[in-house]
Each structure stands twice: as C-alpha cells, then as structure tokens.
Amino acid sequence: MGLFRGPECYMARRTCPGRRQPALRAGGSDMSVQERIAEERLPAPSAGMWQKGGMGAVEACWVAFQGLMANKLRSFLTMLGIIIGVSAVIVMVSLGQGAAQATQQAIQRLGTNVLQVMPNMQMVGGLSQGLGSMQTLKLTDAEVILKECPSVKAVSPEYRGNGQVKFRDQNTRTTIYGAGPDYFEIRNLPIAQGAAFTEDDMKRRAKVAVIGDNIRETLFGSLQAVGKYIKIEGQSFKVVGVTEPRGASGFRSPDDQVTIPVTTAMNRVFGVDYLNGMSVEAVSADKMQQAQDEIMAAIAKAHKTRPDQESDIRIFNQADITESAAQQSRFLTMLLAGIALVSLIVGGIGIMNIMLVSVTERTREIGIRKAVGAKRRDILYQFLVEAMTLSVVGGLIGVAVGLGVSWWMARPASAGGLGFPMMFSLPPVLISFCSSALVGIFFGIYPAVRASGLDPIEALRYE
C-alpha cells in the first residue's frame, strides 16, 4: 500500500492480491494502454481530472491529508524527525535567549561603577589554562588597591568554589562564595533576613554564612534559617543572613550560593592562599577609567611587574562583561540551534526514504494516471505536495511541542517546572516552522522527479 490514498487512487481497489491481471496479446505482446485501461475499468480519459488540468492546490493538499489520516502510525513515524527538530530549535533558542537576557539583567543590577579584577591566564607547556588560572592575586592586593587608588570606593576580595551544604537530612551541592563584607553592597545584593557578616568576622575567619533564597528553600523549607547551623564541607557554620531573591540570572544565580568570609573560605574550606577575583566599586561612573588605570598601576607595583611584561591581572568593566556575556550567549544559542537543525535534516531524510518507498508501491497507479492524461508536472506536483504536507504537519506539531516544553521549563520548580530562564519570541518559531517546510520541499524533490519520470507503459507492467 502507498503512503497516501486519495479518491482517485484506483490501485488500492484495482490491484489487490488474487485479482485477475490483464492478459497478454497472442504471441506474448503487451496489451495497448487503451485496452489496459478498459480492462481495469478506469474512467475514460475525457472524464478524468487530469484531462481537466490536474488537481488544484487545495484538492492536492486535501488528498495528501487524507493519506495521513489513513496511515496514522506510518505518517507519525515519518514526521517524528521533523517534530523533534522543530521543537528542539524552539526550546534551545528560547533557553539560549533566556539565559542571555537573565545574564544581562544580572550585570545591569551590579551598577555602572563596578569593576571585576581577575587573574590573567597561566601558560603551562605552551598551553593556556584559561583566564583566572594565575595564582598571583592575594588578599594584600585588596588592601593595596584601597590604599593607593583614590578613585576606588570599596573592594571585595573573592574566592569561589563548590561544596556540599547540609542541614539535618537535607543537602545540596552549590557555589561557596568567599567574599569581603562590602560584597553585598558592591553587588547590590540586599539582605532580606538577618544581616551580612562583618569586617571582624573576616579578620577572625568566623564560620558564618549568608545563604541565597533557593538554598534557604532547599535546606529549611518553611523553617526560620537565621540562627541555625549548617554544614559546609563537613564544618558547622551559623546562618546570619538570607539574601533577597533575585530569580534566575544565568548560570551563577546569587539565589543558589552560600557566601562566607573570604578568609574563612581560603583557610578553613578550600585551603588556598590566593584569590580568583575581586569586585571593585569606583567612587562614580565617570571615574571608571581612572580607577581602572590606578588599579593596574598599583598591582604592577605590588607584583613588581616590569614595563615590558604582560600584567598578571585583567580588569573588566560593565561594558566588557556585557559584551563578553552577549558573545557567549550568541555562540551558545547558535550551537544549540545548529544541533537541533540536525534533527530537521534527519527528519527530511526520513521523509525522502518513505516517499521513495511510496513511489515504488504506487508505480502502477502512476502509470494509470499518466495513461488517463496526467502530465509529468502533475505527478511531480502531487508528490511534492505530499512531502510538504508531511513536513508542514510535522512542523505544526513540533511548534506546539516546543512551546509546551519551553513553558514547562520556565515554570518555577515549586510549580513542577525546572525554573530555567526562557525567553519566548516569534522569530525562532517562524524560522523553525519555515525550515520544516523547506526541508519537505528539498527532500521531496528527488522522489517527485523519480515518480514523474516513470514511463507509463513500464509502470503499467509493474506488479
């Protein structure tokens, strides 16, 4: 049986197994086309639709859709690659754009007068270990910056790592952020409950912690968190504060981190003697470049860096961070969309394979259509419409699935979703849907050309 069976598809009822087939002429020659048509009891050419100019676009689409309904499982399996491809494009692009938007919002919340100081990249065996791999940034450098840079208002020395956090029988692995007491003001991160740790806590390497709202929810639920003790990497810390919820903000949400004094993080938790960053607040937005120059000069002097040597630190302002985040987000979005488009191509190959099978199964049908007046372009058009119908219907289902999955991923975890930052926009939906239609046309061309090129006499001989 072919993939599609419209009202004019006579072969389903004319060539069933066991039916008497047209006889050969005496001497072994084939019957004429007219005799074959008469034997099959098909309508006379003058009464056929092909004699009237062929099927119109609406009729061809309706016939193709009827074929889908007549072979539901086969049609669904054929469209599955298109469905997966379209839905994956929508989900991946929504996720990439959502992460970019959330990251931009997080950067903007830092303010216009914040600088990020990071160690430069370290070279080992001629290979770069990545930005921040140098271990030359020390606690004393924060003091140097405050002392020698008049354009700097505040500095927070920082060391970031990952660790296990536990309260009773609840535990999670998250970011442990060692910072100075000015960190919350510099990062514009208000305290919702309790208070931030103090300069004295940092000097004493106190085991105190300020937790994000998601950590509070995970560990404590409806219980009061402030004043309770949690274990960080097996050591007891007193919760002194909870930050205000920020919502999802990229892959480093303050809601999902535990902030402790940087001296405690370095000496008691991670056992290191270097920093992997500093947050610096300039006295005003118009002093940013001056503050940046002063920091570079102060660190070069403290580290005894020669004028001909590359600095062992890098400084990023908000514009740099915004552009870097935007580039990463664009790359991630393109990568994810490219991977998803592969599914569309695979789906198109599946459509082509099934259409080729359909051409083989319907060889006699094609011969009869040509015999009653169908032209080559009529056959070509019909098979292209059938391939497009598969891809367009698959694309519509894929759009619905993609939007549904994106909506579910964007829902908060408390509502049964994943809480991912998602951004919905019309262009990815239109692009993915139009791509599915183009895939149907592209991969339907070869089967359609093959079907339209069949010789009617040879096709009528096919059993």
The closest alpha carbon to 329, from 149, 120, 94, belongs to 94
**What letters, b where the CB count within 10 A reaches 16 and e where it falls short, cover 61-80?**
bbbbbbbbebbeebbeebbb
pLDDT 10s digit of each residue in the chain, 463 long? 344 444 344 333 333 343 444 444 444 444 554 444 444 443 333 334 444 445 566 776 776 677 667 777 888 888 888 888 888 888 888 887 787 777 777 766 666 788 989 898 765 555 655 565 677 889 999 999 999 999 999 999 999 999 999 999 999 999 999 999 999 999 888 999 999 999 999 999 999 999 999 999 999 998 999 999 999 999 999 999 999 988 654 446 788 999 999 999 999 999 999 999 999 999 988 888 899 999 999 999 998 888 888 888 888 887 777 777 777 777 877 887 777 778 788 888 888 888 888 888 778 888 887 888 778 887 888 788 888 888 888 889 999 999 998 888 887 665 666 767 778 778 888 888 888 888 888 888 888 888 888 877 777 776 6
Q: CA 261, 265, 268, 274 torsion: positive or negative? A: negative
H or E stretch including 171?
strand 170-179
Calpha distance 160→179 (Å, rounded) = 8
What is the longest distance spanned by two Cα atoms in the chain?
113
Strand 191-194 vs strand 277-282: parallel, antiparallel, or unpaired? unpaired
CA 242-246-248 angle, 5° bins: 125
Assigned token pair, 101: 């938007």
The closest alpha carbon to 8, from 393, 370, 441, belongs to 370
pTM, rounded to two decimals: 0.58
Strand 229-232 vs strand 235-243: parallel, antiparallel, or unpaired? antiparallel
Calpha distance 385→363 (Å, rounded) = 18
Q: Fill in the DSSP letter of residue 234.
A: T
Question: How many other CB atoms sit within 10 Å of the CB of residue 389?
Answer: 24
Distance of CA 425 to the CA centre of its chain: 14
Q: Which amino acid makes up residue 312?
A: D
Residues 6+ apart with CB under 8 A from 435: 85, 86, 89, 341, 344, 395
Q: Is residue 125 a contact partner of residue 112, using CB atoms and an 8 Å limit? A: no
Calpha distance 33→42 (Å, rounded) = 12
